[in-house]
Amino acid sequence: MVIPFGAAVWLARLGLQQSALMENPYPIYQVWQAERPVWQIEEDQWLLFRYDDVRRVLSEQSFVKGEPWTENPPAEYPDLPELSPSMLMSNPPNHTRLRGLVTQAFQPRHLKRLEPFIVQLAGDLTARLEADGGGNLVQQLAFPLPALVIAELLGVPRADHAQFREWSQHIARLLDPSQTPEARKKAADARWQLLDYFHRLISEKRRQPGDDLLTELVKTESAGDRLSPGELLSMALLLLVAGHETTTNLLSMGSLTLMERPDTPLPDGDWHRAVEELLRYTSPVQLDARMTSEPVTFGEHTIPSGAWITVVIGAANRDPAIFDEPGRLDLARHPNPHMAFGRGIHFCLGASLARMEAALAFPILWRHRWALAGSPLWNENIVLRGLTALPATIA
């Protein structure tokens, strides 16, 4: 999720990002949550840590997204339309319109048809890991699974899945600030190649409709001219960007959390509550941001209109005012009002899909216990916290 996070830049500058803050940000969050829950870090930059404050910022309409922007394709892609702002960066009424066009497709009853594909894929990937006695759980399962589920959802032909996975791999690096300029260039190129591919696929779906989300969106476009070609394209890209890395990080950080607790009893069949707890515990989206559209008060602090507020979801999900023993993993925790999927009008559109994917994949992967077979590698991305390597062996 690309959002202007002034505070993320500030945290990175503090030099905490590389080591302590990436490997375990929670002790630091705990101190800040208790001692400076409303923290002005620059004239127009604020950080909030408490659950109630985070919920308020994400829920109330006076906290908005910044100015949306459009993007012109490079000269090599003369046929591509200008990319329109996605729903993630839009405010009402445009946000309401864009989200309304895809909401149906993300209802659990529509997602049901993806279930056999997810089960088959999770089974194949797990079987390969088992046959080798272990491997890198990120590269061999947590990364490819969500990428290919989104490919299937959108209607990318199976023959193109491997290419789609490769582009996704490069594009994921755009969200990681620690990448070299060469890697960033490669990632940017891959992003335009993928957009070009989507553009051609959309024309194909116009000629030959399928039973998939891109076809649905094409129909919406032709039905009432409500979704422009540039909007269609940025919607397809958003679904990949918002839905891939986040789910990868849930599967990999969730698995690491379980490996670190070999004595934790695993659920017997139904993993839904366990998935909620792993979402709370790992918070794959650590930070979110909004701008104030009017002066707002938090305790003794008044934040003026036009200031940026970064909310620390990772800290809110461990707030002792809401969660008993927040640092303890309790796979049966209930109720569990975590905010891993955000709140309010931008609440994660793909939450049902991510929950379904995780509740199907975890029991398949964890039919054997896994143990760490080396040091996990953190991605150094302060917004979408996650792992790039998780060496594992059958325990």
Closer to ligand HEM by CB, 259 or 312: give it: 312
What CA–CA distance (Å, rounded) separates 121 from 141? Answer: 9
The least distance separating ligand HEM from the CB of residue 132, rounded to whole angstroms, comes to 26
Closer to ligand HEM by CB, 323 or 341: give it: 341
What CA–CA distance (Å, rounded) separates 370 from 256? Answer: 9
Closer to ligand HEM by CB, 134 or 236: give it: 236
Closer to ligand HEM by CB, 93 or 299: give it: 93
The least distance separating ligand HEM from the CB of residue 3, rounded to whole angstroms, comes to 6
What CA–CA distance (Å, rounded) separates 348 from 370? Answer: 30
Residues facing residue 154 across a β-bridge? none
The least distance separating ligand HEM from the CB of residue 384, rounded to whole angstroms, comes to 9
What CA–CA distance (Å, rounded) separates 251 from 362? Answer: 7
Closer to ligand HEM by CB, 226 or 368: give it: 226
Extract long-range pairs of 19-26: CB within 8 Å, 24+ residues apart.
21/382, 22/378, 22/379, 22/380, 22/382, 22/385, 23/378, 25/286, 25/314, 25/385, 26/314, 26/315, 26/318, 26/327
The closest residue (CB) to ligand HEM is: 350
The least distance separating ligand HEM from the CB of residue 294, rounded to whole angstroms, comes to 19
Closer to ligand HEM by CB, 22 or 250: give it: 250
The least distance separating ligand HEM from the CB of residue 114, rounded to whole angstroms, comes to 11
CB 66 within 8 A of CB 49: no
Q: Which spans of this chain sit near ligand HEM (rule: CB under 6 A)? A: 1, 58, 87-88, 99, 150, 238-239, 242-243, 246-247, 250, 284-285, 288, 340-342, 346, 348-350, 353-354
Measured in Å, how far apart are the chain's first and last C-alpha atoms? 35
Token reading at 333: 């925790």
The least distance separating ligand HEM from the CB of residue 182, rounded to whole angstroms, comes to 29
Closest CA to 233 of 72, 32, 356, 26: 72
